[in-house]
Structure 1
Amino acid sequence: MIYIDNRQNKIEVTEKLIKNVERIIGYALKEEGVNIDSEVSVIFIDNEQIKEINKEQRNIDSITDVLSFPMLEYEDGSVYKEVYIDYKFCEADLDEGKLVLGDIVLSLERAKQQNQEFGHSFLREVCYLTVHSVLHLLGYDHMLEEDKDRMRKREEEILNEFNITRN
């Protein structure tokens, strides 16, 4: 189950945008081996809101594009398909039978600025940020160069399946 909640009013949220976000999350989860009913929440906000959350949650007083709040724990360098693919989740891990993977908080205002800055479409930027964040929910990180390379490769592989390129 993918929940999308628009809590901003600066950028229009179209049905096309919502459908693409839902499709790309569903595909990424399937490709990463999530074979159990699961939940991901996506909250669209603006720059002011994400700056507040970034300061509150990470003690960083600046605007960012997307924040991920995974519910599962991973050892450094491990990802869902290496840890949880055949894991038997108990009832305490589930919410009404669904595995809660986490929340994605995405500033559409920042995504709009970045799509213009990078010279690609708004849809591409939102889909990229969504895939990036979903991979964080599944244990991927980019603190070490080898982890960053692994994550970037998966992001591009997933986006390419939808013909979402930088152009």
Structure 2
Amino acid sequence: MIYVDNRQEKIDVNDDIIRGLEDTIAFALEEEEVTIPCEVSLVFVDNEEIKEINKENRGIDRVTDVLSFPMLDYPERKVYKECYKDKVFDETFMDGDQLVLGDIVLSLEKAEEQGKEYNHSFQREASYLVVHSVLHLLGYDHMDEEEKKIMRRREEEILDKLNIKRI
């Protein structure tokens, strides 16, 4: 289940945008072998709100494009499919029969800016950011160069399979 909450008014959000991002999230989860029914929240914000969330949660007083708030803990350099693929979770991590993976907070305003900056579509940029965030929810990180290479490769593999290309 993917919950979408639009908390901004700067970018027009239509059903095609929502459906596209929901499909992208679902596909990324499938590609990462998440077989248990799960829950992800996707929250749309503007630059001002994501800056405030970034400051409150990370101590970084600047605008960012996407923030991920995973609910599961991962051992260093391990991801969902290496840790939890066949695990039965206790109710702490469940909402009914759904595993709560976490929240994605996406600045649509920043996604639009970056799409223009990188010379590709808004949909491609938003999809990339959502895949990036899903991978964070599943334990990927990019704090060192090795992890960054692995994560970037997975992002591009997933987007390529979805036929979401740079324009």
TMscore range, shorter length: over 0.9
Matched with 2:54 is 54
TM-superposed CA distance for 1:50, in Å, is 0.3
Report the TM-score, using the length of structure 1 for normalisation.
Answer: 0.98
Q: What number of residue pairs does the alignment pair up?
A: 167
TM-superposed CA distance for 1:90, in Å, is 1.9
TM-superposed CA distance for 1:137, in Å, is 0.1
DSSP-derived class of the 2:39 partner: strand
Distance 1:114 1:53 in 2: 19
Residue 153 of structure 1 aligns to which amino acid in structure 2? R
Distance 1:18 1:136 in 2: 20
TM-superposed CA distance for 1:89, in Å, is 1.1
Residue 15 of structure 2 aligns to which amino acid in structure 1? E
Show structure 1 runs of 4+ deviating over 3 A: none
TM-superposed CA distance for 1:92, in Å, is 2.8
DSSP-derived class of the 1:92 partner: helix
Distance 2:129 2:115 in 1: 11
* 1:94 matched to 2:94: yes
Distance 1:62 1:38 in 2: 31
DSSP-derived class of the 1:69 partner: strand
Matched with 2:7 is 7
Distance 1:14 1:153 in 2: 30
The answer for unaligned runs of 5 or more in structure 2 is none
Question: Residue 71 of structure 2 contacts residue 93 of structure 2 at CA under 8 Å; is this kept in 1?
Answer: no
Report the TM-score, using the length of structure 2 for normalisation.
Answer: 0.98
Matched with 1:73 is 73
Matched with 2:166 is 166
Residue 8 of structure 2 aligns to which amino acid in structure 1? Q
Question: Residue 36 of structure 2 contacts residue 98 of structure 2 at CA under 8 Å; is this kept in 1?
Answer: yes
Matches within 5 A, 1:1-150: 1-150=1-150
The answer for unaligned runs of 5 or more in structure 1 is none
Give CA deviations for 1:71-100 in whole Å, capped at 9, x if unaligned.
Answer: 000011100000000111123321111100
Distance 1:90 1:59 in 2: 32
Matched with 2:156 is 156
Distance 1:110 1:25 in 2: 19
